[in-house]
Every structure is written in structure tokens, then in C-alpha cells.
Chains A and B, each alone.
Chain A
Amino acid sequence: MAELEAVIGLEIHVQLATKTKMFCGCELSFGDEPNVHTCPVCLAHPGVLPVVNEQAIHYALKIAAALECEVAPRSIFHRKNYFYPDSPKAYQISQYDIPIAGAGKLGDVRIHRAHLEEDAAKMIHVGESGRIHGSGASLVDFNRGGTPLVEIVTEPDLRSAAEAAAWARLLRETVRQLGVSDVNMEEGSLRVDGNISMRPVGSEELGTKTELKNMNSFRFLERGIEAELVRQRALLEAGEKVEQETLHFHPEDGSLHPLRSKEEAHDYRYFPEPDLVAIAPTEEMLREARESLPELPAARAERYRDELGLPADVAALLAAAPETAGYFEATSKEASGVEPRVIANWVTGELAAALRQEGGEETASESKVEPAALASLVSMVQEKKISHGSGKTVLAALVAEGGEPAAIVEREGLAQISDSGELESIVANAIEANPEAAEQIRAGNGKAIGAIVGAVMKETKGRADGGEVNRLIKEKLGS
């Protein structure tokens, strides 16, 4: 049997952080008392009419611009009809055949479409199952009902669970940096569903897909998709068929359960929403959306990689944290003689570690270490004015109290030993004190050099240049 490959597409619901709901003036909130943010419109009293939230359109256009989507000149709303207590009108106002945003891409994944809609109310099913079937009672909180959503649908371009989770993280970071959503998976302001199928490698046809829901963290997303891929692979390899169905991920044990067909068998009877007019964004609105975009993670990572020569992982790490990336760039600017790659390593390596050591939640840009200070510190290390080890000591002092590295070096007496005569005699003493190691080195065991280097560093309190010490030991022992 031919090798199978995973074919994964994602559907992402992003709750927009607008001031008010999608079609009424009720305030958005999370965690307030149930049913306090309601009005005749979002409770679907008879006779009410929806009015589109203008800010939601601006936010959707920003997302469309960030995902390089084509924007429809006139997109329209449809009614998606279904009976369920979370939908007081018994229809959801959504977009159907003409969404606000069409084809686009983020990273290597193509975007199929993005559209505006309203969120359903929150249902709490009392009882063991946690679902409506078999529950003792169901409670409805209409606070969430009518929250603006942008639903983003990708093409099936992802090939593994890890890839899907990594891309979802990139999307989250991108949307977060737009400032249009809290993108919090635990709170449900970002919800990711997967469309998953498998096919023989090389085939262009898509296999039967299943839809995976309820993965409310990136870890669960990856685990859920992985579990489903294992299940599908087993079925296909046993010559069985994958059934098209919707599966619910249970985070407690990582299992997948099909939703009952009654919950699924919908004919939504879509038709154009007669209460609303078309969304026709003006040139100015489109320009505003484009111009308001910050440099987004994908573009920033690419620039760091291609223009600044940063390793891909470091570039991605910085791009996902725009404040730290800004700090890195400011430091680079101050340290003219130092390669950006070196600065990036200090920022994401030594500085991040020192901040962790300090125990706080501070990011580089919030810390007491000024970019200019870090720049001069890295320059001193590069010019061998101080050793790398001393550099870390100085950095710890900077994290704790701020200030100028030169002053700290002076105060702590950390300047590197530049007198080669002095260093030579310290090395000679160290060899004498470690005859066994010296013997092993002479016999060709290079690893034994560590004991002597350590002794030198101890004696110099780390002020010696490690490379120079190595060279001197080898010279003296003739190895």
C-alpha cells in the first residue's frame, strides 16, 4: 500500500475585541454575571433589526490585509437557520457565498476565505455529559451571543499535526499583533477546528475528511489532530473507510467522540439576510486597513533571516514577540561593530536567561537593561575586553540594578587579563598543580584540558580569555 500523507485544513474563529456586539449596542465582556449584556436585539425580541458594527468591519479588513486576502467590493450577509437555544433568532447572521475576504495566504498556507458573523450564546449543560443530550438542565448566557467573529478558513495545505499547531500559533500571533482580538484559546476568543483527511502520497485527490472540534489549546490541537491521524491511518491501512463526521476532542483523556447525528444533520436553508445591506468598503477604508498593519511575524521573521542573517529559529522567536524584537533592533543599532546574529543570541539567550533567573515576568524591553547598555556589553565581549563569563556577570548586575556595563566592569574588577606574562605564569602554576591532567594531555587526551582551564579561570575569577588559556596550555604541554 502506498505511503499515506496527512491533509489538514483549519477553520479558525476569532472573536473581535470591539467595544460592542456585532449587531447591537451591548458591551462585550468576558466573565461578567450571566445575561447582563443583553438587549431586545441580541435576545431576538419580535420586531428588532440588526445593525452592523462598523468597527467589526474595520477589524475584518485589517485581518484581510494581514492575510493578503482579496476584499470583496460588495459582500453580503446570509441567514443560517437552525433551532438551538444558543441562537435566539433561530438563525445566525453570517456570510455565505460572498464573504468579505477571499483568497489570501499566511506563511506557506493559503487562506480560502475569511468572513464576518456573530457568535452564539454560551450554553452550560448541567449534568455529567457536559452536552445537551442527557443533561439535567441547560442554562443559556446571552452575554456572548452576538459577539463579532471573523471565521478564517485555510486551504488543506498542512501536512502534520505539529505543522498545523505551529501555523495556528503564527496566525494567533499575527492576529494578536493587529490588536483586533484577545486571541485567547482558553477563554474561547480563538477557536480552532481541524478538517482532517489522509491520502496516498502523490495523489491530488482529497480523502474523506472529518471535522475536529473542541481543542482549546495549541497542545490539544496538536494532540487531537495526531489522534485523528492515527485513527484514520489505522482504518485506511485495514482497508476500511473513513466516515465523514464531526468529532469532539476530550482533553481529559485525549479521546475523540463523534457528535450525535441529530446535532449535525442540518439543512441551514441559507438565504440573503433581508435586514442588512451589502458591505461595500471604500478605497479609504481599504487603505487605512493596509496602512495600519504593523510588520507582522511572518514578514519580520523573513527579514531577520534574509537581511540580518539570523538563524530561522531565532528569527521566528523574535518575530513572535514584537516588543523583544524591537529591543533587539534598538540594541543592534547601538552596537555598530557587532553582527545582528550575535546580538540576537544575547537577547534571546543570555538576557532571557538572566531575566528568568531574576524570577520576574519582565521582557527585555521592560527590564532595566537599556539597549545601549547591552550593546556596549556585547561589544566589550566581542573586543575581548572582558571574557564571555564576565559578560554574564555584568549582565546579571545590569538586570538587577541597570546602569553602565563599563562602570560595573571597573567596580567588579572584571577587565580581562591583557598582560600575557601574567597569564602565562598563572597557566604554568595550574599545570603544576594538576600533574595528572597534564600527563593525560600529553598522552593525547584533549578532554583533560578542562581541569586546567577551570583552575586558571578560578584563579583569574573568569577574567581570562578562554581561547587564549587553551592556546597557552597546549603550547606548554606540546600537544
Chain B
Amino acid sequence: MKELLAMTALEAHEAMVAGELDAAEYADAWRAAAGGDELNAYLWRDENDDSPGIAVERPSVAPIAVKDIFCTEGVPTTAGSRILEGYRPPYTATAVRKLIEAGAPILGKTNMDEFAMGSSNENSAYGPVLNPWDRGRVPGGSSGGSAAVVAGGLAPWSIGTDTGGSIRQPAALCGIVGLKPTYGAISRYGMIAFASSLDQCGPFTRTVADAALLLAILQGADPCDSTSIGLPSSPRLPDREDLSGLRFAVPAELASDAIEPGVREVFEATLKKIEGLGGELAEVSLPHAEHGISAYYVLAPAEASSNLARFDGVRYGMRAPSSGDVIEMYEATRAEGFGAEVKRRIMLGTYALSSGYYDAYYGQAQKVRTKIAGDFKAAFTDFDFVVTPTSPSVAFGLGEKTDDPLAMYLNDFFTVPMSLAGIPAISIPAGLAEPNGGGPKLPVGFQIAAPAFAEQKLLDAAHALEGAIGFDARPEGVPGG
């Protein structure tokens, strides 16, 4: 048997089921590893405060780290925001409850961009998460903590949320697998809402097979979430080794020079591997995809402006001292409790929904969203998958883009269209590339998108490609294999 922390979650699960691995010993090894967090990746860890934690009766699944956006009864839940400092929810999110019921101990709650708004994890009220490959760089966001703990050897796997790329982009920047399932595959109940029509829970893992196992635990319709429907059948472990008979579409719009040369190189090498496995490649046009970012940054802030209105200091979380009336108390609490990016998006969204502007902004953005979904639908009549680089660049330096929100938003260029279309997409590590300006090589993610509810097909293809890529690099000091 491998070293405990070098095992994949699937290997550990199989060993526990076979009685070859002591679940408690395994969980303790991970708790110890999580205790060595030097990345600011955990906001709360089991055993590091006086809360009782979350009890799992019969551990039989690898312990897991959970993005701090999921409510956990009695356990601090902040969504990376000052405004929820000290908040311990009275209930547990469905996704976390399913993990507990499956027998997965919760290792801790991971750091994130405040209310999932960001692409670098620098918007956390609790400080940025560091990229385990280069601690001077960002891990991506918003689920930066969940990506960093898996890449950095602080958890065997984790869950995060993806609204416009918040699972796929940090997975790419940290060199691990990140899956955003079809909208509605996993319950959103207990997941603190950013943009309700886009938010989706998904796994961060080291392998595609682990992602399939985690998806099987998480997916399913939930009576507490009217928009959840689950997958048509429970995912099975992927076993496909080739891609013959499968058609992969490369969007023509990728000719953009916004992609770093190193990223483009890895992307093109990966396309060759697809052909090597018998897959067919062709160019496809997604004419409206380039408007994805514009539409997304109207729709998501609009929903966020409403979703975040409940944080008023009345019933939970922080309340700013105020001598005035209730409206002044709201204003003081929100001024103090929210960070700059959250305020920016609340203002954008409030404006977009205002009387007289609704049609020009929100209404128009909804139309673009429908057009983008139509582009994908058309592409999927001829193709099985659409592929892109996950992110236009490898991990960038801390502070590099914080003064330029638009540059930051462009990180989501390749991931936002799938979110708007509600379709599943996975990012797998495809290789290493030198960043612009030189330096040690960093991971590059390869994104594969599939039609709604075609998760099984997506996992099968990603598994085959993963085998051909054979990515086995690890940040220094992290057990690999």
C-alpha cells in the first residue's frame, strides 16, 4: 500500500471498504497534514477551536475540505466575509450533509473570495490564499482555498462552488481536477448564494476518477432546492482509455491573443493527444460567447445585489455600532462588513435592476445568455465536447491584477459561457508552462465542456485524456503518485 497521503481518495475508499486501511488512522493523518497549513487555505479546521465539529459515525470515505460558503451547523461559516464573522449556522447544507452521511469526516472550511466574488482569492476578508506551487502567486478563485488544500497536500479532496469559473479556474491554476456539474445536478441548499441562477457545487480532486466518486456522493434532487434535479443516473467510475468516435470542437473565437503563449502551447499539445487517442477535432463557431463576460457581469451582480441584501446586522453576523435609526445601522453594518469587490458588484447589480435600466441591462443580458446557450446547443448537434484552455494564463502574482477589475474579470473568459449555458465542464491539469515574464513552470488547465447532464460521458473522456497526459507534477514537498 502507498503512503497514506499519496493515495487518491478512490484508492483510500477502496482500501477502507476492503478493510485494509483504518479509517480513523487515515483521517488523523489528514488532520495532521491540514494542521500544517501555511497557505492560509483553511479558515476553520476540525480540532482547532472549541466547536464540537461535525460528527461522522462510520468514516468510510476520505476526509474532505469544504469551501466556507457551505453552511455547517454549529461550525463557523463566513463566506470569506467580515460581515459573517462569528456566525455559526443553525443548519447544514445538503451537499455537506450528504458527505457526512456517506462517511466523510470534514477536515475544515476553506478560505475563499468574499461571497465567491473574485478570481484570485485576494478578496477574502481573512487574507489571500497562497498558491502551493509558488507562494508569491494566487491560487485562483473564488474557491482558492479548496483548490490549494488539494494541490498543497492539505486535503485529499474538497468541494467548492462555481458561478462563472470559481472551481475550474483555481483547479487549473493549482494543477488539479475541478468539475462544475450541470446546473441543478447538486443541491444548492445551504450554499450561501452569490448568483442563484449560476451557482453550482462541485468537486476538487487529484484525479478524474475521484471527481466521479465525489459527484456520485453529492448529486441528486433535493426537496429543499426546487431548482435541483440530480443526474439521470448515478455516475460510475470512468474507465474509458481512448477517444475514438468522439468529436471535439475548438471554438474559432480562441484565436484571441489574450492567451499566454505557454498556455497556448500546452493547449495545442493536448489537442494532439486527443487526436492520438482517436478523437476528432474541428473548429466550431460560438458567435455569442465573446459577450459572455459582459452578460455575466450584469446578471451575476444583479442577483448578488438581492441575495446579499439580507446581511443587515439584525439577525446574525456582525452589527456595526450605530447611534441612528435602523436604516443607519444597516448602512454602517454593510459599509464595514463588506469588502470593496462585493460593494462594487452590489452597486453594479442594483443599477442594472433599477427602474428604467432593467431592459437595457438585465433584460439584454438575459437575451445574450439565451443566445450563448443556443450556440452550445448548436455545437452539440455536431460535436460531443467543446474544449478550451481553462484560463488564459497560469497563476499570476499576488497583487498583480487587484487594481484592474476588468483584467481580473477576463480570467473568466473561457469559463463563463458554460456557466451561462448551465452545462457541465471539467478542468484537468494538462501540463506546465512558463508564465509571461519567466519563472518556474506552473500548471495549465484544459477545459472540456459537455451537453447538460452528460457528466458520465464528460468524465469518461476526461479520464482517457488524463491517462494520455500523465500529469504527475506536484508542488515541492507534496506527496505525489
Binding site for B on A (CB under 8 A): 40, 43-52, 79, 81, 83, 85, 88-91, 132, 138, 140, 267, 269-271, 274-277
Contact = CB atoms under 8 A, between A and B. Distances in A.
A45 B71 contact: yes
Given A51-B226, A271-B353, A45 B89 contact: yes
Given A45-B316, A88-B314, A88-B315, A267 B355 contact: yes
Interface centre among B87, B91, B309, B316 (most CB of A within 10 A): B309
A52 B70 CA distance: 23
A47 B312 contact: no
A274 B303 contact: yes
Interface in B398-445: none
B309 A91 contact: yes
A132 B312 CA distance: 17
Contacts of A140: 314
Contacts of B84: 46
A427 B355 CA distance: 87
A138 B326 contact: yes
21 contacts: A43-B315, A45-B71, A46-B71, A46-B84, A46-B193, A46-B310, A46-B311, A47-B71, A47-B192, A49-B227, A51-B224, A81-B353, A88-B314, A89-B309, A91-B306, A140-B314, A269-B305, A269-B306, A269-B358, A276-B227, A277-B227
B362 interface: yes
A148 B339 CA distance: 36
B99 interface: no
Contacts of A40: 89-91
A90 B353 CA distance: 15
Nearest to A40: B91
Contacts of B326: 85, 132, 138
B85 to A, nearest CB: 13
Contact of B309 (A47, A83, A276): A83
A89 B309 CA distance: 7
A352 to B, nearest CB: 51
B202 interface: no
Interface centre among B84, B195, B353, B362 (most CB of A within 10 A): B353
B355 to A, nearest CB: 5
A267 B197 CA distance: 22
A213 B190 CA distance: 38
Contacts of B315: 43-45, 88
B71 A275 contact: no
A267 B355 CA distance: 6
Interface string B347-375: 00010011100100010000000000000
Given A140-B314, A271-B306, A277-B227, 18 more contacts: A43-B315, A44-B315, A46-B87, A46-B89, A46-B192, A46-B310, A47-B193, A48-B189, A49-B226, A79-B306, A83-B330, A88-B310, A88-B314, A90-B306, A91-B309, A267-B354, A269-B358, A271-B303
Interface centre among A45, A47, A267 (most CB of B within 10 A): A47
Nearest to A271: B353
A472 B196 CA distance: 91
Interface centre among A50, A90, A132, A277 (most CB of B within 10 A): A90
Contacts of A49: 188-189, 224-227
A121 to B, nearest CB: 11
A274 B315 CA distance: 24
A52 B224 CA distance: 10
Secondary structure of the A contact surface, majority rule:
loop
A269 B197 CA distance: 17
A40 B315 CA distance: 11
B77 interface: yes
Contact of B310 (A90, A138, A267, A277): A90
B338 to A, nearest CB: 14
B295 interface: no
Interface in B289-340: 302-303, 305-306, 309-312, 314-316, 325-327, 330
A140 B69 CA distance: 28
Interface string B4-32: 00000000000000000000000000000
B461 interface: no
B136 interface: no
Contact of B314 (A47, A50, A85, A91): A85
Nearest to B77: A46
B191 interface: yes
Nearest to A89: B310
Nearest to B317: A46
A81 to B, nearest CB: 5
Nearest to B314: A85
Interface string B51-94: 00000000000000000011100000101000010010111010
Contacts of A132: 325-326
B225 to A, nearest CB: 5
Interface in B147-202: 188-193, 195-197
B223 interface: yes
B125 to A, nearest CB: 15
Contacts of A44: 310, 315
Contacts of A52: 226
B443 to A, nearest CB: 31
Contacts of B312: 83, 90
Contacts of A277: 226-227
A34 to B, nearest CB: 14
Interface centre among B191, B310, B354, B358 (most CB of A within 10 A): B310
A274 B77 CA distance: 23
Contacts of B190: 47-48
Interface string B371-392: 0000000000000000000000
A81 B93 CA distance: 25
B227 to A, nearest CB: 6
The 3 closest A-B pairs by CB, nearest first: A90-B309, A269-B353, A274-B197
Contacts of B305: 81, 269
